[in-house]
Chains A and B, each alone.
Chain A
Amino acid sequence: MVKLPTWADVILVPLISLLLAAIFSAIVLLAIGQSPMEAMKVMVEGAVGSPYAWGYTLYYATSFMFTGLAVTVAFHGSLFNIGGEGQAQLGGLGVALVCLSINWPHWALALPAAMIGAALFGAAWAAIPAYLQAKRGSHIVITTIMFNYIAAALMIHILVNVLRPAGQMDPASANFPEGTNLPTLHEIPGLSLIFTKQVPANVTFFIALICAYLVWVLLWRTRLGYEIRAFGKSEKAAAYAGISSFKIIMVAMLISGALSGLMAINNVMGESGRLLQNASEGAGFIGIAVALMGRNHPVGVILAAILFGFLFQGGAELGLWTSIPIELRTVVQGLVILFTGALDQMVRMMLGFVFRPSLAKGAA
């Protein structure tokens, strides 16, 4: 197979994968008797057509940045963390327990405490699969899937029987105190000139960007990051270089779980202001797509998260204004994952044919 130039591998392959996913989505729309152009128009208008729309897109993008970074960190240690969903739900529990514990005077005090709660609970939920992988060799993919379901059952139990206030019907916690409300982009001085209406995107967006920077520093500028990547490339070589596999698996998964958990400050604390059932809405799984699309690099993850934020918000708009069911966005997400993650070799082979003549000329 022809080896592609780096720029083609980094930029062209994801773009073509994306295009293929878009084409197949259009075919699906045509097959159910809808107009793809019309759908695209509604999605673009509703997701990026106004600051108000951006307020929603960025809100979803924030959540996906956290889960995408979580998958990225684990992936560099050759660990496939499918458990982001469960870790994000447990993160929500951590946030709720912190926010409900005392009557917080100001969000600036509540936020760091909630972040610690979210990260601790998320990391704790990743710790058991990590330990089992490191010590007993249980496949991390299967154990994290199992932990997603265990988390779902646990959360229902906690919401219905523990956190639900007396007399309330729906399975949710009590509302968090006033002092935990995070400022939205509409309430931040300066940005309020752009975001003139109330939007769900909040200060967490900036925390996500900081986390992306920190993940970059961790992976490419620290000894630990080097060890994680070395372990991911070759477990045997890493062991020979004196890197403890137990330490790397544990640390990479704990950081991954903490990042997934941190997502909860965006949706649970920033948006709903109380803990709802299934608060993470599949963001843990979308994190996989975001990491794949973003080529496991923080900059790529940020861009891919915004793309998926667009898909998520655009899909919601479709559900609101057209007769296209909101489930279309699930199909599009699946197609994007399929083409970027599983059929990427196909795209490379296709490009290989394109690049072969030019390479031959260069060699001659």
Chain B
Amino acid sequence: MDYDTLLQILGASIRFGTPLLLACLAGLYSERAGIFDIGLEGKMLMAAMCTGAVAAITGSVWIGLLAGIAGSLCFALVHGIASITFRGNQLISGVALNFVASGITVLIAQALFRQGGRTPPLSGDGRFNPITLPFADALSSVPLLGPFYAKVLSGHVILVYVAFLLVPLTWWVLYRTRFGLRLRAVGENPASVDTAGVSVVRLRFSAVIITGVLCGLAGAYMSAGLQAGFGREMTAGRGYIALAALIFAKWRPWAALGATMLFGFLQALALRPDVITRTVGFDVPVAALDALPYILTVIVLAGFVGRAIPPRAGGEPYVKER
């Protein structure tokens, strides 16, 4: 593999890794607060449709983004009400919301545009446009690093950079703020948080809302950044890959960056079977690359590469009067 091809694939890895990263960080907040969320996929899908539809109607990607966040938030709140207020089964709620999202996005898109469940193609201000980082052209003549800066790091849409900035921000919130401390505590031992006079319900709802907003960004990126418009089932299991990445990262923000970029790299590779064949010397089935994130996650879950221990109170509704 020559340097140019490598740069192309790395650039694509960032593009594919970004929605995973956003969804993974979304799941991180929720699960750290003790609310399992299998519904990342559904929220992303909902946000992708809302963004695609509203951006197509208004012509502004920013209003589209807000609509996407709103759509995702609705689903997050239903999940919160089911699993926090009514102490329902969080896994079942997530599965149910994924079903609803998968169907309702097509119903709405079809009712609005009558284009077979798609939203009209976005262009111009209707989608996020690539940003060229400063000095990208000037530095591109620097050997090795110059092209890397110009071709891999520069030229992405704004949400990619937002996603990357969210990693240190999440780390700071989780480990350096009072809110973060309480958030982690409520996922490990909600009774202790309650005893300290802090509302478990409010903390968990805040976490679920943050999850909704971040899934909104992930979905908006899908339909207005990575692609130009919404198509049915366009998230194609990314919510589940993000969940896998979250476990792979053992619920830590910096590791989440690494895991999602690795999985993004695998997705980018799967599109270039010619490169793989040239590099390893034999045909690797594309299916093997598709399955690799899941297989890696199972290996991590099995505890062969350090043990992945979820937040202790994850999945359990908190009952005050026990």
Binding site for B on A (CB under 8 A): 28, 31-33, 80, 82, 128, 132, 136-139, 141-143, 145-147, 149-150, 153-154, 156-157, 161, 285, 288, 292, 324-325, 327-335, 337-338, 341-346, 349
Contacts and interface: CB of A to CB of B under 8 A. Distances in A.
Interface in B83-99: 83, 86-93, 95-99
B5 interface: no
A327 B103 contact: yes
Contact of A345 (B38, B86, B244): B86
Nearest to B310: A139
A94 to B, nearest CB: 19
Contact of B98 (A132, A137, A334, A346): A334
B271 interface: no
Contacts of B78: 338
A342 B89 contact: yes
B52 to A, nearest CB: 16
A334 B101 CA distance: 8
Given A142-B301, A154-B291, A325-B117, A331 B88 contact: no
B96 A330 contact: no
B100 A335 contact: yes
A136 B91 contact: no
Given A153-B294, A335-B96, A338-B97, 10 more contacts: A136-B301, A138-B302, A138-B303, A331-B107, A334-B96, A338-B92, A343-B86, A343-B93, A345-B86, A346-B88
Contacts of A341: 88-89, 92-93, 95-96
Which has the most chain A C-beta neighbours within 10 Å: B87, B106, B247, B302?
A: B302
A318 to B, nearest CB: 11
Contact of A337 (B99, B102, B244, B287): B99
Contacts of A143: 298, 301
29 contacts: A33-B111, A138-B298, A138-B303, A141-B38, A143-B301, A145-B38, A145-B243, A146-B294, A146-B297, A149-B240, A150-B294, A153-B288, A157-B285, A157-B288, A161-B285, A292-B92, A327-B104, A331-B99, A331-B100, A331-B103, A331-B104, A331-B107, A334-B97, A334-B98, A334-B99, A338-B92, A341-B95, A342-B88, A349-B86
Which has the most chain A C-beta neighbours within 10 Å: B81, B111, B286?
A: B111
B82 interface: yes
Contacts of B98: 334
B237 interface: yes
B48 to A, nearest CB: 15
Interface in B259-301: 285-288, 290-291, 294-295, 297-298, 301
Contacts of A346: 82, 86, 88
A156 B301 CA distance: 25
Interface residues of B, number: 49
B77 interface: no
A152 to B, nearest CB: 8
Nearest to B108: A32
A153 B237 CA distance: 12
Contacts of A344: 88
Contacts of A292: 92
Nearest to B106: A327
Given A132-B301, A138-B303, A146-B244, A153 B86 contact: no
Contacts of A156: 287, 290
B173 to A, nearest CB: 25
Contacts of A329: 103
B110 interface: yes
Interface string B235-267: 001001001100100000000000000000000
A294 B129 CA distance: 50
Contacts, number: 149
Nearest to A349: B86
A82 B244 CA distance: 15
Nearest to B237: A149
Interface string B60-90: 0000000000000000001001110011111
Contacts of B89: 341-342
A173 to B, nearest CB: 16
Among all A-B residue pairs, the 7 with the closest Cβ atoms: A334-B99, A330-B103, A334-B100, A342-B93, A157-B287, A331-B103, A342-B88
Contacts of A285: 95, 99
Given A145-B240, A334-B96, A335-B96, A153 B302 contact: no
A32 B92 CA distance: 27
A33 B111 CA distance: 8
A132 B86 contact: no
B9 to A, nearest CB: 20
A331 B45 CA distance: 14
Nearest to B105: A327
Interface in B148-162: none
A325 B109 CA distance: 10
Contacts of B110: 32, 325
B82 A32 contact: no
Contact of A136 (B107, B232, B302): B302
Contacts of B310: 139
Which has the most chain A C-beta neighbours within 10 Å: B92, B97, B243?
A: B92
A325 B291 contact: no
B106 A325 contact: yes
Nearest to B101: A334
Contact of A338 (B93, B107, B288): B93
Contacts of B96: 334-335, 337-338, 341-342
A345 B301 contact: no
A152 B294 CA distance: 11
Given A28-B104, A80-B91, A145-B240, A150 B301 contact: no
Nearest to A329: B103
Contacts of B83: 342
